Amino acid sequence: MSGPEEGAAPRPVFPFAAVVGMDDLKHALQLASIDPAIGGVLLRGQKGAAKSTLARAMADLLGDAAPFAELPLGATEDRLVGSLDLAAALTGGGRRFEPGVLAAAHGGVLYVDEVNLLADHLVDVLLDVAVSGVNRVEREGISHSHPARFVLVGSMNPEEGELRPQLLDRFGLAVEVLAPVDPELRAEAVRRRLAFDADPVGFRAEWAGEQAALAERLATTRPATLDDAIYTYISRLCVELGAEGLRADLVLARAAAAHAGWDGRTEVTTDDVVAVAPMVLGHRRRRDPFEDPGLDQDDLDRAAENAQDPPPPPPRSDNDRDLDTESDLDRDADDADDESPAGEPESGAGNGAAPAPRTAAAGAPLDLGPLSGPRGRPGSQGRRAEATGPSGRLVRDRVPEGAPSSVAVRATGTAAAVRRATDPDGAALDAGDVREAVRTQKVGTLLVLCVDASASMNAPQRMEAVKGAVLGLLLDAYQRRDRVALVTFGGDGAQVLLRPTGSVEVARRRLDALASGGATPLGAGIDEARRLALANRTDLTPLLVVLSDGRATAAPDGIDPDDAARRAAEQVRRDGLDAVVIDAETGPVTLGRAETLADWMAARHVHLPTLEADTLRSGLDTLLR
């Protein structure tokens, strides 16, 4: 938790009332303050858009006693929820609870910058407590609960990666934060900030009247009531806009009630529901990376009209009933087929013979199968595995064998306290008290796509497929700690078009610049992709995927193109990188260069003469699972 040093004067806070523009953001914070059970506010936007300034200003607006707590990005679960008071345990004071950041934020604002980079289990805890208002701790012999009602404000820059959909859905409100584009508004924002920096006390005095009026209004506002017709309208609107689950309906009801109360009314109307719908539903309905985040006004207007007076279902005709009967018969036939004995395995399968080359038809899923072999990753099918390491979530402690790699401080203190209960004259800390921390973290994959963008690849069609595949893969990166990178080669050399990212916004912009044509510097492309994979090997497990027909036609002066490609490929094998070569060679005469390339790399070879976005994505996703 950050804050002023002990004994230092509190740092003056920029007045909430003096912030220029940002009306949606300010209103979202006000609604969450009126009813903290809404579940917090997520601020998505560019750097330098006053996100942290408004979070601090919101705490200041709640009153002099309202705390402002900030959770550092590297905070542990102990620091967040609280744990054993180690000092008391070591000095014979027994087991006492030491409050964490959640306790410090009670009655005020808890701000988490770069919440998308925070460990998932910490975000889960934050959101649970933000909604319930109670922090319950059961750990290290401590059973404790305390009130923790606060306004949770999380901020993130989408270019640094997205928040997983499961966590995104649990933020009550989300607002896109953009700096004003009106030069006059920007100039006014700069003038006010410079005036505040020059004389904070005088500037706050200048805005004291408006600040006091806002604080009084906020303190006296109570959520309005909803009748049965509004509940029905809310649910119809959520269905119309494709919101999944009931959390959207619940948050929309709470936000509409707070909005009506802020306007001084005691009953909620449909206008209140529509007014808050963008910040409640905008982050809950995005399903495709090609879609912009948020809620389009035309879609909202159309859904609001349909929810007001939903059209009756069309009358059923005799033909409809006949079709139902035919559908039932079809389902019966399908069930009978499912119960028939399984067919015999194909010739050569399961007898140790080499697998037949895989060739994908147009539009068909590309079944690349699980990774196997000396460098195959165990558990590649299914969700990301968890691995133990020096960082991550503390799951347990143990008596170390030799020097501990990481000390479990609380468990060590507990062991010392237990020992001293029977031996009060013993040392405060003995070597036998030390406990080693066992931590786990999800192991993510870095998928490095190395794409041939030369003229021989019929590039325009294939580049469109690659764009679709990369953007599609980012949907899965939301739910796993995977990243996607893209290297292209063609013409004079290779370039890193997309550095490791899980951000749709970044990927979409970079992929727009994807160009093609010219010769095929295959060796340069493989070298560039290999360097990118190795540079990120510490935090992620790299998987190199080369998409090419394998025909090398360019290299530095004095070097044969095929020799350059072979040396680059063999270096991939020596570096121990997992690799796959997707063979896109077409035509009546094939040279098999890509298959040879796969042999040099010790990579798997998949023939894909017809490349489409869905086909490529389905196959690459198989590798990541």
Annotated catalytic residues are 247
Q: How many CB atoms lie within 10 A of CB 247?
A: 17
Kindly calculate the radius of gyration of the chain based on its CA atoms and give it in whole angstroms.
30
Tell me whether residue 609 is exposed, middle or buried, using C-beta atoms within 10 angstroms of its C-beta: 0 to 12, 13 to 18, 19 or more.
middle
Amino acid at 263: D
- Ordered DSSP codes for 338-392: HTSPPPPPPTTTTTTPPPPPPBPPTT---------STTPPTT-SSSPPEEEESSS
Collapsed DSSP state (helix, strand, coil) of residue 503: coil
- Ordered DSSP codes for 9-74: PPPP---GGG--S-HHHHHHHHHHHH-GGG--EEEEE-TTSSHHHHHHHHHHHT-TT--EEE--TT
- Structural contact between residues 550 and 585, judged by C-beta atoms closer than 8 angstroms: yes
Tell me whether residue 462 is exposed, middle or buried, using C-beta atoms within 10 angstroms of its C-beta: 0 to 12, 13 to 18, 19 or more.
buried
CA 494 to chain centre: 30
| Beta-sheet strand order (sheet of 540-548) | 493-501, 483-490, 444-452, 540-548, 578-583, 604-607
- Structural contact between residues 411 and 435, judged by C-beta atoms closer than 8 angstroms: yes
The whole-angstrom separation of Cα 113 and Cα 50 is: 12
The whole-angstrom separation of Cα 221 and Cα 596 is: 73
